[in-house]
């Protein structure tokens, strides 16, 4: 005699699939761990600006697990505070790019016709420019600061989100529930943001998760080139460039910030891929 098993709701099904993906769980653990370390940076490490030349270039030891730099500052403390910068840049930049991409893609996909053609031609023109070189060109004319970097990264990385949202809206706008909402007199804004957008969140969520990793990489690259976050504010990128001069004798100045970037980006990529698999409608329920 077979027993009746109730069908799982979508959030429950999503969480169940996510828990079954070991790579996604590993990514979630890395992301959560970085959040905790960033929040507890002041309690875990020393003051990242504490200069003491008597302890300069100390190798990793019990007192300084990740060593010290050429000014005697604790590398562990600077990496932990640098995590705050990287996470802040990642989330703010992705928030800006996702917001712009959702609005642009929704308008193009919902209205279609000449509005769609005009918007997508502009998106195609923006995609012709290599994103990183476009960011370099814009940042070069601005004062290097963390807020300028976040805004510039966000304003130059929305095109992929717009294309994803447009594709979803082109598919969803013909569904019965959308036609029913229109027949009941719902305005375009309500149809777009209340009826269609909630059903198009899956690719947006995946894109945003992967976008955080990309934004962290871009910020690190800009700081490495000297036009990103400026010293003495610790950033993984400017820590890398500072350690380049002593790579042969003080390897820890470059290795540990590089590992922090690697592990964080890997965590977000694993989590993003896991979310994509968990939201894939082709998987059997």
Q: What is the pLDDT of residue 110?
A: 92
Cβ atoms of 172 and 197 within 8 Å: the answer is no
Domains and CATH numbers, the chain: 12-279 (1.10.3720.10)
Q: What is the pLDDT of residue 268?
A: 92
The pLDDT tens digits of the residues spanning 42-89 come to: 776 578 888 888 888 889 988 889 988 888 889 998 999 989 888 898
Which has the higher per-residue pLDDT, 283 or 138?
138
Q: What is the pLDDT of residue 285?
A: 46
Cβ atoms of 236 and 284 within 8 Å: the answer is no
> Among residues of the chain, what percentage have pLDDT more than 70?
94
Torsion over CA: 41, 45, 51, 56 (sign): negative
Q: What is the pLDDT of residue 266?
A: 93
Q: What is the pLDDT of residue 37?
A: 86
As given in the structure block, the two tokens for residue 82 are: 């640098």
């Amino acid at each position: 005699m077979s027993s009746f098993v109730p069908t799982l709701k979508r959030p429950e099904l999503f969480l169940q699939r996510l828990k079954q993906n070991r790579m996604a769980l590993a990514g979630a653990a890395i992301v959560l761990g970085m959040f905790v370390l960033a929040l507890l940076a002041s309690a875990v490490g020393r003051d990242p600006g504490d200069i003491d030349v008597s302890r300069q270039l100390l190798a990793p030891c019990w007192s300084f697990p990740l060593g010290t730099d050429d000014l005697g500052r604790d590398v562990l403390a600077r990496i932990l505070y640098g995590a705050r910068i990287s996470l802040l840049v990642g989330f703010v930049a992705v928030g800006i790019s996702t917001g712009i991409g959702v609005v642009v893609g929704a308008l193009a996909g919902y209205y279609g016709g000449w509005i769609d053609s005009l918007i997508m031609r502009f998106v195609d023109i923006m995609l012709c420019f290599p994103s990183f070189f476009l960011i370099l060109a814009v940042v070069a004319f601005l004062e290097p600061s963390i807020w300028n970097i976040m805004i510039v990264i966000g304003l130059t990385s929305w095109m992929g989100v717009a294309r994803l949202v447009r594709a979803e809206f082109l598919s969803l706008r013909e569904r019965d529930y959308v036609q029913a909402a229109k027949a009941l007199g719902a305005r375009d804004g309500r149809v777009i943001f209340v009826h269609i957008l909630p059903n198009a969140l899956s690719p947006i969520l995946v894109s945003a998760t992967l976008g955080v990793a990309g934004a962290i990489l871009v910020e690190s690259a800009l700081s490495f080139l000297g036009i990103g976050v400026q010293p003495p504010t610790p950033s993984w990128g400017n820590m890398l460039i500072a350690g380049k001069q002593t790579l042969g004798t003080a390897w820890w100045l470059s290795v540990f910030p590089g590992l922090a970037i690697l592990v964080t980006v890997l965590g977000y990529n694993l989590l993003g891929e896991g979310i994509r698999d968990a939201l894939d409608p082709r998987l059997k329920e």
